[in-house]
Amino acid sequence: MKIFTCGTCKTPVFFSNLTCTCGAPLFYDPDRDVMLNEAQPCQNRQPIACNWKGDGDAGFCRSCQMTQTIPDTFHGDNISLWRVSEQSKRWVLSNLMRWAWFTAKDNGPWPTFKMLAEQTSRGETPVTMGHANGLITINVTEGDPVVREFRRDELDERLRTMTAHFRHEIAHFLFLRLQPQQGFTDSFRALFGDESVDYGAALDRHYQNGAPADFQSRFVTRYASSHPHEDWAETCAHVMYLTDIVDSASAELRHNRRPRSGYDAYKEAKSEKLLDQAFKFGTGLNHIVRSMGMQDIYPFVISPKVKEKLVFAHRHLMTGARKA
């Protein structure tokens, strides 16, 4: 994510800021990718600290318009969990808009979201995250860092964050957007396998037997080995992570003069160049956080086969919306 500028005092401001240190209000404009000091506020500015500008008569921003169902806000901490979840959603959507997905010029279908909580005024309700025909279900309970860390350990998922959940589930939706494009399915199957094989049976086998012993040579994560659809979603999510790493580094961090000042990672057409920069930053950042006794920022080993999949996914994420 790049760093923005307050139009009033020219001070650097960050993506989720509601106000500048000078006191000026901030409103994010997703079409221009800038912070404004004057705009119609999103209707959710007060309840969940949404700093995007509102659109249309209803007054909700583009991100909040995609939310079809909100959590039971009458119970406990659900409003704060919803706030954390929507903040992650806005971050991921803004990243994808840099590649022209879900912009005002994108006439293709957009996803909708059900933001559900496990604890409701009627009692405890199980919530399964997932995607089905454009509808994405998110369990906002994992906005609680204690819950999330427990499940990270329980499920042995080294990168389990709210941002990761949105990237993974939106990737499933983007597959539906890309699938009709000429040549996509054949190229996809050559790398990822036949996505039409029984999904339920494949997941049952995965949960019963686990990932193959050599999964790191072919898949970016253990879960990616369960089915071609999950391989695609995990691979796409990693492309989003890696691009964002380089984009964020270009704003505040350099290594051997790379990336250059003003570099736009979302306009980089050379996939391998982008990924190689991201891997170097990931390794460097891992080394830094270990000095603080913290877990790695990017705890993954990328094999040549996985890199080939990442290149494929990057090319389609970068060009897919424009082709559509």
Q: What pLDDT, in 10s, does the model give residues 94-142?
A: 999 999 999 989 989 999 999 998 887 777 888 889 999 999 999 998 8
Q: pLDDT at residue 145 above 90?
A: no
Return the C-alpha torsion angle 124, 125, 128, 130, nearest 10. Answer: -130
Phi and psi at residue 201, in whole multiples of 5°?
-65, -40
Q: pLDDT at residue 156 above 70?
A: no
Each residue of 23-80: pLDDT tens digit? Answer: 999 999 999 999 999 999 999 999 999 999 998 778 999 999 999 998 887 777 889 8
> pLDDT value at position 159?
77
Q: pLDDT at residue 157 above 90?
A: no
Pairing of strands 130-132, 135-139: antiparallel
Q: How many CA atoms lie within 13 A of 237 on its CB side?
A: 26
Q: In terms of residues, how long is the chain?
A: 324
Contact call for residues 84 and 142 (beta carbons, < 8 A): no
76-80, 150-154, 160-164, 298-302: which range is least confident on average? 150-154
